[in-house]
Structures are given as C-alpha cells and as structure tokens.
Amino acid sequence: MKRTTLIAAALVLAAGAAIAQQAAEAPKLPLGFFVTSVGLGKGADLGGLAGADAHCQKLAAAVGAGNRTWHAYLSTQAANGQPAVNARDRIGKGPWANAKNAIVANDVAHLHGDTVELGQLGSNLHRTTALTEKGEPIKGVGETPNQHDIITGSKPDGRAYSDAADHTCKNYTSSGEGSVQLGHSDRTNRGATGGNVSWNSTHGSRGCSQENLISTGGAGYFYCFATN
C-alpha cells in the first residue's frame, strides 16, 4: 500500500511538472489591443481616421509596442464623395491580446460574434479584458467617474451606418454638432442581448464635445488594434 501511494504521488508530481513546463513554453502574444488611456481632449474630433490612428501609434510606442502598425477601431460614413469605411475592415486579422496577454478575439469573425467560441457568442472583450495600453482597467458602471463609453461610430457587426443621421461626429472632425455611436467597455454578459452587453454599439452620444461625451458616460476613449 505504501509503495502504491508513493508511485501515485510520483505520478502526480510528474504530471504537475509537465503542465508547468507546457505553461512556461506557451508563446506570449505581443500587445495587440487596448483602450486608449487618454483621449485627444477635443471630444469626438479625433482629426479623422488619420489622427485617431496616430494617437493609437503614439500610445503603443510609449509602452514598447510601436514596432507594430496600429489602427483605431472606427467606422466612417460616406461623405463628400468618399465611401464609407468599416471598422472591422481596418484592424487586421488577429488574434489580439491585451496588455495582460489575454486574448480578446481570435479573428474578426470572433470579435463580432460571427462565430461561437467556447459556448459563448462573440469575443472575449468585456469588463476585465478591455484594458488600456498600460494594462489598466477602464472605469465603468458603479465607479466614479464612469468612462465606459467608447467611440466607435459602428453598428454591432463593425460596419458603418448608411442612413442620413450622423453617427460619427462628421467622421471624427466635429466637437460641436452631431453625435457618435458608442460601445461599452465594461460589457458583463457575453452571449446575451440587450442591456450592457455591446462593446462596440450601445447608444449614441449627446453631442460631440468633450463635455457631451463626459456627460454621456465617457471620456473620448477609443479602441486600438494592431493590424500586423
């Protein structure tokens, strides 16, 4: 009996060592996703897509991830002879990991709920994984101030709006007239519908100014994804 116990203990130790070795050998993905830790301070006037992308690149470089190409997760609407741009089409193929090496989505389809992963509809982007480039959480419901409104200008599928209403604060060039579509970084109920569950398309803002975004429950933050 004693010998059997010793053999069993040895097997348990060997299995534990093997698991630990596998964990140590698991590749660590580079930073590929974050919520901006600061906005540009001009409400939804981000300087268009180019200005928003430059902000993502600057924040990524500050934490040692500037060797990758970064794009803001933003859709634009057709205007002035220019076609609409879909946020989902400008962020690369994935997978994307946050600053804590947690994968928020494997690919574009997973990110937008086009596929089912591990029994859950949609991505792994929610309250505990929507971190800044510094690995810090965004203040959400129940915290002061609530800053969970994230600028996207997008429908839930990551595509641009095609109606006549302004969902992008004039394609991120206005801090006055208009409105912008917002998602919630503190999504808590993955796979459900309604309530605080959409990371990219929950409601519109009260306006485009910094004050309007703050009063709605935000701070002018947006999502950044590495495209390569």
Of 98, 106, 95, 87, nearest in space to 35 by CA: 98
The per-residue pLDDT for 27 is 65
The per-residue pLDDT for 5 is 44
Q: Residue 56: phi, psi to the nearest 5? A: -60, -45
CA distance 31 to 153: 24
The per-residue pLDDT for 188 is 76
As a whole number, mean pLDDT of residues 77-89 equals 97
The per-residue pLDDT for 187 is 87
pLDDT tens-digit series, residues 36-79: 999 999 999 999 999 999 999 999 999 999 999 999 999 999 99
Greater confidence (20 vs 88) lies with 88
pLDDT tens-digit series, residues 88-100: 999 999 999 999 9
Tokens at 62, concatenated: 């500050």
The per-residue pLDDT for 96 is 98
Per-residue confidence at 19, pLDDT binned at 50, 70, 90?
very low
The per-residue pLDDT for 114 is 61
Give one DSSP letter per residue of 102-132, joined into a string: -EEESSHHHHTTSSEETTEES-S-STTT-BB
Judged against a pLDDT cut of 80, whether residue 193 lies above it is answered with no
Per-residue confidence at 117, pLDDT binned at 50, 70, 90?
very low
As a whole number, mean pLDDT of residues 123-132 equals 94
29-226 classified as CATH 1.10.1740.10: no
Torsion of CA 14, 16, 20, 26, to 10 degrees: 90
Does residue 91 sit in helix, strand or coil? coil
The domains of the chain are located at 29-226
**What average pLDDT is seen over the chain?**
87
